[in-house]
Amino acid sequence: KKDGDLCHVASGGTKCWAVFSGDTPPALLCLHAEIEIASASGTRRIPLRDFYTGEGDNYRKLRPDELLTKIILPHASSGYRGAYRKLRVRGSIDYPLAGVAVVIKRSNHQPTTAHEWQNR
């Protein structure tokens, strides 16, 4: 909210609502990325889509003793194209109000597969 005139606080609400500000996760989610999480007791591998909770206070499924150590992308073949766009109030150094990533696979100049992900 710094220097702004709008605060995204829900008065009387029971949840913390926040605009997701990351640019990289939407693109990785479109690519069906998986992540590896390590701790003293070992490692686990989960789809990135299962990592985020949607909760403002605890937005990641990561225990205090864990560390994200690896991002795994599926093998992409030729024909894939992607893009990411975001909407923000100022042109630079600002959190996005909204963001969207899209990945499309084409064959013979026609779309055959599409994946999208929106920051919410």
pLDDT, residue 1, reads 46
Adjacent-strand bridge partners of 35: 46, 71
Q: Does 68 score more than 80 pLDDT?
A: yes
pLDDT, residue 120, reads 47
What are the C-alpha distances in Å from 111 to residues 5, 83, 106? Answer: 42, 14, 4
Phi-psi region of 15 (alpha: psi -120 to 50; beta: other; left: phi over 0): beta
Domain boundaries, the chain: 20-32+77-120
Which CATH architecture group holds 20-32+77-120? 2-Layer Sandwich (3.30)
Q: Does 13 score more than 70 pLDDT?
A: no
- Top pLDDT among 47 and 75 is at 47
Q: How much is the average pLDDT of 36-54?
A: 92
- Top pLDDT among 36 and 16 is at 36
Q: Does 50 score more than 50 pLDDT?
A: yes
Adjacent-strand bridge partners of 87: 98
